[in-house]
Chain A
Amino acid sequence: MRTTSHRRALGLLLVAGLGLTAASCGSGDDEPAAQGTGGADQKVTITVGCQPPKSNPKERAGWDEDVAEFQKAHPNITIQSKDAFPCINPDTFQAKLAGGTQEDVFYVYYTDVQKIIKAKQAADISEYVGSVKALNDVRADVKGVFNDGDKTYGVPRNNYNMGLVYNRKLFTQAGLNPDAPPKTWAEVQEAAKKIAGLGAGYTGFGEYSAGNTGGWHFAASLYARGGSMVSEDGKSAAFNSAEGKAVLENLKQMRWNDNSMGSKQLLQWEDLMRMMGSGKLGMMIGAPDVVQSVNNDFQGKFEDYGVTAVPESEGKASLSGGDGYMFNPKASPEKIKAGLAWLEFHELTPGKGQFNYERAKAQGRPVGLPIPDLYGDTAPGKEITALRKQFATVPVDHFTPYVTAQASITNKLEPPKAQELYAVLDVAMSAVLTRKDADIDKLLSDAEGKANKILAKNT
């Protein structure tokens, strides 16, 4: 009898527990997004993304220090930091938004900015952005990433354009001069052959071809040759051109004739990072942030790598990359104002936040990479460059070829419907790298047809 009543109680407890669990699961969606709406003097709490993770204690300590300093100067603002590594996974963006867990001030890559604006998934901050004086000196093209017409939707944090990342150690081993990296694709081919010739497992030049990264790097190579992904009005594809063909032919030559690209293909973002970190990859298309990632997360060493401009890109263009912050579309005006104040302090002020190179050096963190390039040649830009030089901990001359070339290279933004177009071009990239008899003309023509359909839908 006692057993039966115990069982009964257990059953009821179970049902009640499940009911409560289910109820608690659904409750998050209904919480009001704003906590401190009202006058400017009211207290406001904002959630901010991209706090460095616990696995990166030095950067995290720096962030927390900055939050304390900012809150001291702005007693009405409370920052609730949200950590993540990487700062954003674009694949979970929609889910966070749908689930009501998107931060008030959320981190975003350039690639996704226009898609988010078009989908109305970020707040229009035009009305408030005037208060951020530092933005007056930010490069117009960098600010433009977050604009749609005359409206502004975000603030940049990092900016760079594509270059050629190379392993200086392997250059030396292969009898190449690491201080004179390749300037033409013919030189890249020669260098790649020599590096691949170092032995089994060495890859001269690595390239992506899966998970939309192939299309992304196709665009980078295409821009550097003077080509375009889409027509000026954005209504049709423009990559089926002499430049587009040259990109694929160059890869085909290196993959099949020179055998300098390794046998393993369908590589995605992390694969090349790992190869670069292991010291077996000679060259890849990438910005200086690649060196940072390879050093921080893939066991590479700063001193082993150098960056130069994409071959033959001088006087032409380079694909822009970077990241920044946008605002939750449900954020109140007070939250937006508070968020902008934080971003100005942490992301845009020389000597503070991300530009606190003195602290970074004291913490033993790398200083000296030529990124982010937010200000160009303006006064804050010069100040940041000087600070970077003063507190440098990495060999800055390894990036000199990249920095020098920037003067003659135009930053070019990603095309509309970038991810969809990249997915289409993955097919061409993977075909060239996995099939010796790949017909480049047909691949480009097929891709053009598919891209036109995508763009027609978009426009």
Chain B
Amino acid sequence: MATVTAKPLVRRSPNQGAARRAVGRNLTAYGFLCGALICFAFFSWYPMIREIVLSFQQTNFVDPPQWVGLENFRTVFADPAFRSAWLNTAAFSGLALVVGYVIPFVLAVVLNELRHAKAYLRFVVYLPVMLPPAVGVLLFKWFYDPGAGLFNQVLDVFHIPPLAWLDSTSTALISLVIVSTWMNLGTGTLIYLAALQSIPGDLYESAELDGAGLFRRVWHVTVPQTKLILLVMLLLQIVATMQVFIEPYLLTGGGPENATVTVAYLMYQYAFNFGDFGGGGALGLMLMVVLLVFSAFYLRVSRDNEGGR
């Protein structure tokens, strides 16, 4: 007689089954999430943590690193270029806000108002973003040439005396701001343009019916409606401009007379020219702390917006 063994009946709770189904449904999403997490972990978080550790160490990348406490910070504090680097970085960010923050917004408003050649002009405005940064910067090196450079030739047409541009302590930093603004305004303009296009047209119609001119329409409709994006862009721009490196590296080498040495450039000098990764790490950590403050503001603004407040 055959023995029949009854299989134990396993009953899943409805909640368990739903959870498994949910996981199954979202497996692709988790896959993509893991991909992003791995990328961030390797290319952002790991270098960040490594840099923090390095700022408290002295290493030659051969022997085990030595912990040196705050010695690297003392070294960079004592460096005469340290103060110049922070002042120049702050000045660059300030000037970049004055020049680079307003122009993309104005351009976006103008592009939004245009009736013809919209696509072409958008392409033209975005074109510099498509150039590799080094190419854009080196292009300006020729424009700024005090002799045959384009800018001085243009000034000459208007009988304005030539400027030394990069070769003068008074104009070098603003010259870098101009390059940076030119290279990045395309992205800013497109973001503003997208924000402008989401403003309901009837608001402008109402304003027009109330007799508002162009300036008042911009001030009373456009600006309040894009307030959030303006604020977010402001914070992002501060964070980006405080890390300015490629412009002084390629155009001025930090000169003349340290007038364009920035924190990121000094950090590079410490690490790669002087072989002092500890000093470079210390500077990087200081910059990171400052940028964290702005990033915290950014996160707060974003969260407030998501919460509908």
Contacts and interface: CB of A to CB of B under 8 A. Distances in A.
Interface stretch (A114-122, A187-195, A298-306): A114-122
Contacts of A201: 147-148
A421 to B, nearest CB: 11
Contact of A264 (B24, B80, B145, B255): B145
Contact of B254 (A22, A121, A210, A431): A210
Interface string B233-269: 0000000000000000001111111100000000001
B169 interface: yes
A98 B271 CA distance: 12
Nearest to A112: B275
Interface stretch (A13-21, A71-79, A160-168): A13-21
A81 to B, nearest CB: 24
Interface string B125-149: 0000000000000000000011110
Contacts of A93: 275
B62 A97 contact: yes
A200 B28 contact: no
Interface stretch (B35-43, B88-96, B184-192, B204-212): B35-43
B75 interface: yes
Interface stretch (B5-13, B160-168, B283-291): B160-168
B164 A434 contact: yes
B42 A25 contact: yes
Contacts of B39: 18
A435 interface: yes
Interface in A137-177: none
Interface string A214-238: 1000000000000000000000000
A340 to B, nearest CB: 20
B42 A266 contact: no
Contacts of A450: 80
A2 interface: no
Nearest to A208: B253
A382 interface: no
Interface string B51-86: 000000000111100000000000100101100000
B62 A121 contact: yes
Interface stretch (A124-132, A393-401, A407-415, A422-430): A422-430
B31 interface: yes
A293 interface: no
B167 A18 contact: no
Interface residues of B, number: 45
Interface in B6-51: 24-25, 27-32, 34-35, 38-39, 42
Contact of A263 (B63, B146, B256): B146
A263 B148 CA distance: 10
A90 B273 contact: yes
B123 interface: no
B277 interface: yes
B274 interface: yes
Contacts of B75: 457
A435 B24 CA distance: 70
Contacts of B63: 120
Nearest to A271: B141
Interface stretch (A4-12, A50-58, A311-319, A384-392): A4-12
Given A264-B145, A266-B166, A18 B255 contact: no
Interface residues of chain A: helix, strand, loop or mixed (majority) = helix
A262 interface: yes
A245 interface: no
Best-surrounded residue of B29, B35, B147, B255 (most CB of chain A within 10 A): B255
B168 A434 contact: yes
Nearest to B248: A210
Contact of B277 (A10, A90, A94, A430): A94
B34 A266 contact: no
Contacts of B258: 427
Given A263-B146, A265-B167, A457-B75, A211 B80 contact: no
A443 to B, nearest CB: 9
B297 interface: no
A268 interface: yes
B28 A420 contact: no
Given A264-B167, A457-B75, A94 B275 contact: yes
B271 A94 contact: yes
A60 interface: no
A266 B62 contact: no
A120 B60 contact: yes
Given A18-B34, A18-B35, A268 B275 contact: no
A121 B253 contact: no
A262 B147 contact: yes
A381 interface: no
A121 B32 contact: no
Given A266-B167, A266-B253, A430-B257, A11 B148 contact: no
A262 B146 CA distance: 9
A330 interface: yes
Nearest to B259: A430
B219 interface: no
Contact of A94 (B35, B61, B257): B61
B269 to A, nearest CB: 7
B60 A419 contact: no
Contacts of A209: 255-256
Interface string B151-191: 00000000000001011110000000000000000000000
Given A266-B252, A268-B253, A423 B167 contact: no
A424 B271 CA distance: 16
A11 B30 contact: yes
Contacts of A416: none
B163 to A, nearest CB: 11
A9 to B, nearest CB: 9
Given A7-B28, A22-B42, A263 B253 contact: no
A11 B31 contact: yes
Nearest to B78: A453
Nearest to A25: B42
Nearest to B266: A423
B62 A14 contact: no
Shortest beta-carbon contacts, A-B, top 4: A11-B31, A210-B253, A211-B253, A11-B28
Interface of B: 24-25, 27-32, 34-35, 38-39, 42, 60-63, 75, 78, 80-81, 145-148, 164, 166-169, 251-258, 269, 271-275, 277
9 contacts: A8-B24, A14-B35, A93-B275, A201-B147, A210-B252, A212-B273, A268-B253, A424-B80, A435-B168
Given A210-B252, A210-B254, 7 more contacts: A11-B29, A25-B42, A98-B61, A262-B147, A263-B167, A434-B257, A453-B78
